[in-house]
Amino acid sequence: MSDKPKSHGRLSISASQQPRDLMTDTPRLKGAWTAKIITLFPEVFPGTLGASLTGKALQQGLWSLETIDLRPFGEGKHRNVDDTPYGGGAGMVLRPDVVSKALDQAAIGTQGKRWPMIYLSPRGKPFTQERAQDWADADGITLLCGRFEGVDERVLQEYDVEEVSLGDFVLTGGEIAAQALIDATVRLIPRVLGNQASTEDESFQHGLLEHPQYTKPKLWRDRDIPDVLLSGHHGEIAKWQKAMAERLTKQRRPDLWRAYCDANNRDPDEDQEL
Ligand code: SAH
């Protein structure tokens, strides 16, 4: 995690083509990690990001959100943003000249900063926890949400936009993916989760899935909890949790298990304790 000091508290001032509301629920604080989202549907943001811990942090200015509506950059009276694909086929494709204007607007204020530019796309590299950590350490991020059949290839190349995927399935648009990626990233920004320690032990943080969790009541429908968790013996508890995490990972995610064993000089076929 970056130990670079971030300032929180000073309101930022920047040029905008559109008049901005000075009294908003989400103050833009100078230096706060910012997600700029290019979308045809700005009204769906902050969406789930406005709830719970990410929402509270947004209101506190620990991070900020800026939507860039693609529609006003469209062509002609109807502000057309898309057209039919060359070569034929179903659907429409977002025009490069329209998307480029939105990317230019998003670039304002990012010069000299670490600011990844991402297109949400099923063709992209799958998103990972490691990626979320890397983005949390940046100054902010620009996310381009596709719709229809996607975006003209040339604008992605011209602006060196990287494609990132939420997984091997096809969504209707990039907005849900953008919210998922921002959620995973923002919760790693210091002070966003009340209890920082809670991100350190989670699934993927050490290349393993998380061990099972239990809470009250101690006995529920004849099901007890493992004795070791009541022992008060921190060493034994940690050992049990690690063994369970390893067992789960081996059973459910052979891909992660192999990578973990490689990194820790372990034999992936060795018998588990417990
Ligand atoms: N024709 C495209 C799919 C377009 S889906 C293809 O076959 O690859 C419309 C938009 O939804 C995409 O432009 C992208 O922004 C978003 N999207 C769809 N699936 C996604 C996924 N798995 N991850 C991230 N974004 C996705």
Residue 12: pLDDT band with limits 50, 70, 90: low
Q: What is the pTM of this model?
A: 0.89
Distance 121 CA to ligand 1 centre (A): 4
Classify domain 202-263 by CATH number: 1.10.1270.20
Quick check: bond before 126 cis, omega within 30? no
Pocket of ligand 1 (CB under 6 A): 120-123, 145-147, 149-150, 165-167, 169-171, 173-174, 177
Cα-based torsion angle of the residue sequence 136, 141, 147, 149 in order, rounded to the nearest 10 degrees:
-90
Instruction: Determine the average pLDDT of the residues in 73-98.
Output: 98
Q: Is a pLDDT exceeding 50 seen at residue 7? A: no
Cα 151 from Cα 122, distance rounded (Å):
12
Q: How far is CA 263 from the centre of its chain?
A: 25
Domain boundaries, the chain: 20-186, 202-263
Lowest mean pLDDT among 54-63, 77-86, 200-209, 243-252: 200-209
Q: What was the pLDDT predicted at 249? A: 98
137-171 pLDDT, tens per residue? 999 999 999 999 999 999 999 999 999 999 999 99
Distance 124 CA to ligand 1 centre (A): 9
Cα 123 from Cα 101, distance rounded (Å):
23
Distance 170 CA to ligand 1 centre (A): 5
- What does the mean pLDDT of the chain come to? 91
Which of the following CATH numbers is that of domain 20-186: 3.30.365.10, 3.40.50.2000, 2.60.40.10, 3.40.1280.10?
3.40.1280.10
Residue 234 phi/psi, 5-degree rounding, is -60, -35
| Edge-to-edge strand ranges of the sheet holding 117-126 | 63-69, 33-39, 140-144, 117-126, 162-165
Residue 1: pLDDT band with limits 50, 70, 90: very low
Half-sphere exposure of 245 (CA within 13 A, CB side): 21
Query: How do beta strands 140-144 and 117-126 pair?
Result: parallel
Residue 184: pLDDT band with limits 50, 70, 90: very high
Query: How do beta strands 82-83 and 93-94 pair?
Result: antiparallel
Helix, strand counts (H, E) of the chain = 7, 7
